Structure 1
Amino acid sequence: MFRRRPHLPAFPPGGLLVGGAARDFMRGVTPKDFDWAVSDPRRAAELLAQQRHGSAFPLDLERNYWRVHVPGGEQHDFVPLPTNVTDDLLRRDFTVNALAIAEGGRVLDPVGGQADLKARRLRMVSSANMRADPLRAWRAARFNTTLGFTIEAETERVVREVAQELATQELSAQELSTQELSTQELSTGTLPMPAWERIRDELHALLRHPDAAHGIQRLEDLGLLALTLPELREGQGVQHGGFHHLDVYGHNLETLHQLLARTPDAPLPLRWAALLHDVGKPRTQALDPETGRRTFHGHDRVGSALTAGILERLKLSGADVRHAARLVGAHMVALPTSDKEARRFVHRRRDLLPDLLSLMLADREAARGPQSTPATRHAYAQGMERVLEALEERPAPPAPLLTGQEIMTLLNLSPGPEVGKAVRRLAEAVAMGDVTTPHEARIYLLKTHASEPPN
């Protein structure tokens, strides 16, 4: 059942509400992002910004595209009104996006988008449109998840066809590139592979949805995951037993699902870390010669490096790449068994908290193997509680008792790595409560420095 349509917003003079904004309005959802086709985009943008106390700026001056941000998180994009609106709608990706609404509520629907909306069906406008921009294959998987629409059979066939053709081209390009053929030779007669930034945006729209794990599986079902996250697929069929009941691939997806069930507002780097936390296992698996059991020693370190590479390929920001990779690298750290260990845990990983705890809990809850018992779950919960109590007790790091210059003078050090080691050593002692005054700090540094082995 669709909800009652919300009230139409105020229209710019002669404007049309188009695309996803028209689709959402017609299915009873007030959009946060409005797409307008108008005769004078700059004028319309500046007028809206003035009326709504927002800010207007050009997205593309050459094409006269403008955007307005207004208080409350609304975004309005303005593009030139096409000479032939119907022809423009016929170039869209899916019928539910090939809709436009005129002032007063009149709907332009040249390809039956309203019927598909009612049927909750995702149907392409044409095969040629899908092939003109292969990113639309990823968008089909995203809408399948985020809108809950069923992909129409012929549309799904074309999506799979596009994915297969792109995969074949990628393989051929890799083989041919070893023969040092030119870029022009490699790209002749091929579908254009979407830019990684555009694929990233589709993935992020998917990952923001509560059922993101199902969306990742849909990418796999449609043949798109191999083009997107081949490293994740390496875990298919890799069994690990013990605390686990799923293969590595399934466990990664289940961890993402558990994270979002418990932390629905999880930031994107944490979502990526949940999805990729065990991505290093396939490349580190080995059999213990004594027990015959499968091991994955170092998978956290390898997984951290793989995560960084994946997210750099997808053009995430440097800060997000580092945070996600560090979470993956730390997800196997042992939880504390005492209050003092809890204070050390918080001190050493404060900048990863509380995200690290959320990841570790999701990882643990995604495991239901034979070694997972009520007793082990209780012990894990106790360790989590100790960390949370230590973090609540000291939410910010304590102020340093000595400056770097004071430490250099005390220990007769020149600027360099040794000073940094001494600063970190003292900071941890303060966080543990072993040192509480500047006098104690000096005694502690002199003692520990004297006992350190020479370089």
Structure 2
Amino acid sequence: MFRRRPPLPPFPPGALLVGGAARDWLRGVAPKDFDWATPDPEGAARALAGEVGGSAFPLDEERGYWRVHAPDGVQHDLVPLPDDVTDDLRRRDFTVNALALTAAGQVIDPTGGRADLRARRLRMVSAANLWDDPLRAWRAVRFEVTLGFRLEAGTGAAVREVAAELAAGQLPMPAPERTRDEMHALLGHPDAARGVLRLEALGLLALTLPELREGSGVTQGGFHHLDVFGHGVEALHQLLARFPDASLPLRWATLLHDVGKPRAQGVNPRSGRTTFYDHDKLGAALTGQILTRLRLPSAQVERAAALVRAHMAPLPADEREARRFVHRRRDLLPDLLRLMLADREAARGPDSHPAIRHAYAAAFARVLAALEERPTAPPPLLTGEDVMKLLGIPPGPAVGQALREVAEAQALGEVNSSEEARALLLARASQENRVP
């Protein structure tokens, strides 16, 4: 049922190939990373680095852990060969990972992992192993989605129990960085949306993204046929179906783009309709808090939050407005359009109809055309000193605002010289009674 097995690199002397690398090879999938248990990790690492033209370095000298980075991006981790290999394998998370392979091709399988591989079944080695490291509950979802396996019923029940004890404070939460890494492995898969739903079904989403769960049961109407939570998950699905190369910040932003709606929910006193005023701004703030809590790099946090903040920007009705749209949001493009498209395609409510979809498509085309017109911003026509001298104002926010007005007018083709830029500012200042 699996593909033909790929060739393996030469085994270090006396080594075993263990864990996920052995699992993938048995499935006919070339391992991306190799885990070796060897009598001499340092010697094996240095020899391997010489063979592949890579670099060897210690990960944990006290425990004798070494790593080799190969030029093709493949990674080799080497650890001391345990005294009792089968006992070591029985301490692992899932049976399909509790496998080892000898250089002669013999499979060491103390927990029935090969049968589970054939059945495409994800089964825990033992409940105690899940309790020993609660992060393995998240790994269950990740492996279920990324391997395409079915979570065995008893293992699913154990994962739910772990989640319940974590929620009750009876087990320590994994470090945020470890949870983040599991989430990123899940979000990096084309079927990430299903993974989010599995986290919810197993009680893990409440421990990871409680703000996202606040949208469960929050109905929207209009363009929407799903509640706020379901819409966010469907938007992620739509994004990955169309843009499988979407960046990690874009994936986060798409999943969380409406995370502010539950807290922004209100009622229009005149129409009685539900409103979500400023949910984009609130959502951007929540996105920043969530991703900071998960210890994402600040640049990724800021990017995702900026996309959430901008996702409600009105699309342009003509070429002039398209140029304005691009000028104001160039740094977010084309990711912002991808988010807006996923948002739109995730909505199938009673107000949706083909004419609106065609209008969106036309607006996107205008923005893309404007984006290609001037890929880089032209040199500024005025400096801050020019503005202060011209308007007789001191340094401050007004100077920056004036420079932004000139830059936008320049991008739209309304001014093309320093003289025209000065005339524009004087005219606007006169209208605002800032000069006699």
Which TM bucket (shorter chain)? over 0.9
CA distance in 2, matches of 1:80, 1:427: 62
Displacement of 1:91: 0.7
TM-score using structure 2 length: 0.96
Provide Cα deviations, 1:59-90, integer angstroms capped at 9, x if missing partner.
Answer: 22332322222222211112222222111111
Aligned mate of 1:361, from 317, 320, 341: 341
1:246 equivalent to 2:226? Answer: yes
* Structure 1 residue 34 displacement after superposition: 1.2
Deviation at 1:287, TM superposition (A): 1.9
Residue matched to 2:243:
263
In the alignment, the residues of structure 1 paired with residue 390 and residue 44 of structure 2 have an alpha-carbon distance, to the nearest angstrom, of 67
1:360-385 deviation line (CA, Å, top 9, x unaligned): 00000000111101111111111111
SS across alignment from 2:282? helix
Q: 1:410–1:49: structure 2 CA closer, same or farther, 3 Å change rule?
A: farther
Judge conservation of contact 1:32–1:74 (CA < 8 Å) in 2: yes
Q: Which residue of 2 aligns with 1:308?
A: 288
- 1:76 — aligned with what? 76
| SS of corresponding position for 1:219 | helix
Q: Which runs of 5+ in 1 are unaligned?
A: 170-189
Q: C-alpha distance in 1, partners of 2:161/2:141? A: 14
One-letter amino acid of the structure 1 residue matched with residue 120 of structure 2? R
User: 1:282 maps to which residue?
Assistant: 262
- Once the two structures are superposed, the pairs formed by residues 165-180 of structure 1 within 5 Å of their partners are 165-169=165-169
1:125 aligned onto 2:125: yes
Q: Show CA shifts across 1:340-367 (max 9, x none).
A: 1111111111111111000000000000
Task: Note if 1:372 corresponds to 2:352.
Answer: yes
Aligned to 1:175: none
SS state of the match for residue 181, structure 2?
A: helix
Q: Is the 8 A contact 1:273 1:327 kept in 2?
A: yes
Pick closer, same or farther for the CA change 1:409–1:42 going to 2, 3 Å. Answer: farther
SS at match of 2:29: coil
Shift of 1:401: 2.6
Amino acid in the other structure paired with 2:24: D
Aligned to 1:420, the other structure's residue is in SS state helix
Kept after mapping to 2: 8 A contact 1:133/1:192:
no
Q: Distance in 1 between matches of 2:209 and 2:389?
A: 52
CA distance in 2, matches of 1:230, 1:109: 39
TM-superposed CA distance for 1:30, in Å, is: 0.4
**Alpha-carbon offset, residue 408 of structure 1:** 4.2
Q: Distance in 1 between matches of 2:61 and 2:427?
A: 66
Residue of structure 2 equivalent to 1:217:
197
Instruction: Tell me the CA shift for residue 236 of structure 1.
Output: 0.8
Q: 1:295 to 1:110 in 2, by over 3 A?
A: same
Indicate if the aligned counterparts of 1:41 and 1:80 stay in contact, CA closer than 8 A. yes
Q: 1:42-75 CA distances to partner (integer Å, 9 max, x unpaired)?
A: 3322332233222333322332322222222211
What is the match of residue 149 of structure 1? 149
Name the residue aligned to 2:405.
425
Structure 2 unpaired stretches of 5+? none
Asked if the contact 1:146/1:209 (under 8 Å) is kept, the reply is yes
Give the secondary-structure state (helix, strand or coil) at the position aligned to 1:371. Answer: coil
Structure 1: distance between partners of 2:426 and 2:55: 58
> Cα distance, 1:272 vs. partner?
0.6
Give the distance between the partners of 2:15 and 2:409, measured in 1 at CA: 65
Greater displacement, 399-408 / 233-242: 399-408
Which secondary structure state, in structure 2, belongs to the residue aligned with residue 72 of structure 1? coil
| Alignment CA distance shift 1:453-1:329 (3 Å) | farther
Q: Which residue of 1 aligns with 2:422?
A: 442
SS in 2 for 1:78: strand
Change (3 A) 1:22 1:416: same
Take 2:40 and 2:404, find their aligned partners in 1: how far apart are those partners? Answer: 60
Matched, 1:327 2:315: no
Amino acid at match of 1:109: D
- For residues 104 and 398 of structure 1, the distance between their equivalents in structure 2, rounded to whole angstroms, comes to 65
1:202-213 matched pairs, under 5 angstroms: 202-213=182-193
Q: Which residue of 1 aligns with 2:161?
A: 161
**Corresponding residue SS for 1:82:** coil
1:15-94 equivalence runs, <5 A: 15-94=15-94
Q: Which amino acid aligns with 1:194?
A: P
Q: Secondary structure at the match of 2:168?
A: helix
Give the secondary-structure state (helix, strand or coil) at the position aligned to 1:386: helix
Deviations 1:420-451 (A, max 9, x none): 22222221111111111233233333433454
- The one-letter code matched in structure 2 to 1:311 is L
Corresponding residue number in structure 2 for 1:173: none
User: CA, structure 1 residues 425+92, in 2 after alignment: closer, same or farther (shift >3 Å)?
Assistant: same
Cross-structure match for 2:210:
230
Question: Retained in 2: the 8 A contact 1:59–1:66?
Answer: yes
TM-score between the two structures when normalised by the length of structure 1 = 0.92
- Residue 339 in structure 1 maps to residue 308 in structure 2: no
Q: Shift of residue 21 of structure 1? A: 0.9
The superposition leaves residues 73-115 of structure 1 with CA deviations (integer Å, 9 ceiling, x where unpaired) of: 2111122222221111111000100011121322111111111
Question: What is the rounded CA distance, in whole Å, between the counterparts of 1:406 and 1:40 in structure 2?
Answer: 69
2:21 aligned partner, one-letter code = A
Counterparts of 1:264 and 1:301, CA distance in 2: 27
1:348 to 313, 316, 328: 328
AA of the residue aligned to 1:443 = A
Task: State the match for 1:416 in structure 2.
Answer: 396
Aligned residues: 435
- Partner of 1:68: helix, strand, or coil? strand
1:296 aligns with 2:280: no
